[in-house]
Structure 1
Amino acid sequence: MRSALGLTLAVAALMGCGEARAPSGLDADPWLPRTEAELDARIEEARAQARASDRLVLLDFVADWCEDCREVVRLSKRHPARSVIEERYVVVYVEVGRFDRHRAWIERFGIDRIATLVILDPESGERVAQTTLEPITGGQRGLTSAQLAQWYRDPS
C-alpha cells in the first residue's frame, strides 16, 4: 500500500515537470514576444512541420492588450475550432506589441488592425487567405467557436 502511494505521488510530481507542450499544431504561448530572428525561425519551422503533415501555416497576429485578440485566441482553443486547427494548420502567433514589433510581417500583409489571421502555403510561403476579426469591438460581436471553425475549414 505504501509503495503504491509513493508511486502515485512520484507520478503526480513528474506530471508537473518539464516544458509545457501545446497540442499538435498550436504555438505554446500567444503572448510570447519574439525577436525578428526567433519569429522568422519559428515560421520556417512551422512551414517544415506543415509540409511534413500536409497542413497549412496559420499566422495569428495578436497583442496582449487587444481584447479582440484575446477572444479569438480563446475561441480558437475551444471545440470545434481547436479540432479544425489541429487537423489543418500549424499555428504561429505573431505578437506585434503596439505595432512596433515584426514590422516586415505587418507590412507584407498590410495589417492595420488585429486580430488578423493569415494562412500561408507551406511550400511557397505565400498568403492563401487573410481575415481580421473583431469579436469584441467590431462587426463580429458574438462570434462563436463554431463560426470560427467554419472560417478555418473554408477561408475563401
Structure 2
Amino acid sequence: MTRLLALSLAAFAALATTAPAQAAQAPKLAITSFDQLAQPLPLPYDEKADAKAAVAAAKARARANRKLLLIDLGGNWCLDCRILAGTIEQPALKTWLAKKYEIVTVDVGRFDKNLDVPAHYGITERLKGVPSVLVVNPKTDKLINPGKTAALSDARHMNPQGLADWLAQWTR
C-alpha cells in the first residue's frame, strides 16, 4: 500500500511538471508612476478609422503570427485610455507586447460609436468603462477575458507595473 501511494505521488508530480505553463511574466518597467510617462499623453484612437476593417486586419495578422489579438476600446477624451497608451509605449513593454499581441485601437466615442466591435464578442450592454480591453483568440475568434474587459478602466489608480502584469496574465 505504501509503495502504491509512493507511485501515485510520483505520477502526480510528473503530471504537475508537465501541466501547461503559467502566464508569461511582464517585463520589469523602468517607471514606477504614471507621472513619469512622456507628456503629453498619446491620443491613441483614430476617430475616423474604419473599426471593422482595422480589427479584421489585426485579427488576420494575429492569426498569421500566432499572437493574441488585443482590442483596446476607448476614446481620446479618457485619461485612463491615454495612460494605458502611454504605458504601452514604454520601451520594454512595447517590445514584449509586440511578441505576444497584435494590438488594435478602436474609438468608441462617448459610448456611441463602433459598438458593433464589442457586440461581436458578446458585449451588448453599455461598456462598463474605458479603456475596455478585449483579449481574443484569433483562431477561434473567442473572447479570452470575459467579465474582465473593463478592468483597466480605472488605470490611473493602478501603477505601471500592475498594468503591465494585467496585460501579461492572458499570455504564455
Q: Calculate the TM-score normalised by the size of structure 2.
A: 0.63
Indicate the residue corresponding to 1:75 in structure 2: 87
1:113 to 124, 129, 137: 129
Matched, 1:152 2:167: yes
Give the counterpart letter for 1:31 in structure 2: Y
CA distance in 2, matches of 1:113, 1:153: 21
- For structure 1, the 5+ residue unaligned runs are 1-28
Corresponding residue SS for 2:144: strand
Matched, 1:135 2:155: yes
The structural deviation recorded for 1:142 is 4.1
Indicate the residue corresponding to 2:45 in structure 1: 31
* CA distances 1:13-61 after superposition (whole Å, capped 9, x unpaired): xxxxxxxxxxxxxxxx7220146xx211111111111111110110001
**Do the aligned partners of 1:84 and 1:153 also contact (CA within 8 Å) in 2?**
no
The structural deviation recorded for 1:106 is 3.9
The structural deviation recorded for 1:148 is 2.2
RMSD: 2.0
Indicate the residue corresponding to 1:126 in structure 2: 142
**Do the aligned partners of 2:136 and 2:144 also contact (CA within 8 Å) in 1?**
yes
Indicate the residue corresponding to 2:29 in structure 1: none
Indicate the residue corresponding to 1:93 in structure 2: 105
CA distance in 2, matches of 1:78, 1:153: 15
Give the greater-gyration-radius structure (CA). Answer: 2
How many residues of Structure 1 are paired with residues of Structure 2 in the alignment?
A: 121
Higher relative contact order (CA 8 A, sep 6+): 2
Change (3 A) 1:106 1:34: farther
CA distance in 2, matches of 1:42, 1:79: 24
**Do the aligned partners of 1:31 and 1:95 also contact (CA within 8 Å) in 2?**
yes
The structural deviation recorded for 1:155 is 2.9
Give the counterpart letter for 2:138 in structure 1: P
- Equivalent pairs: percent with the same residue? 24
- For structure 2, the 5+ residue unaligned runs are 1-42
The structural deviation recorded for 1:71 is 0.6
**Do the aligned partners of 1:80 and 1:149 also contact (CA within 8 Å) in 2?**
no
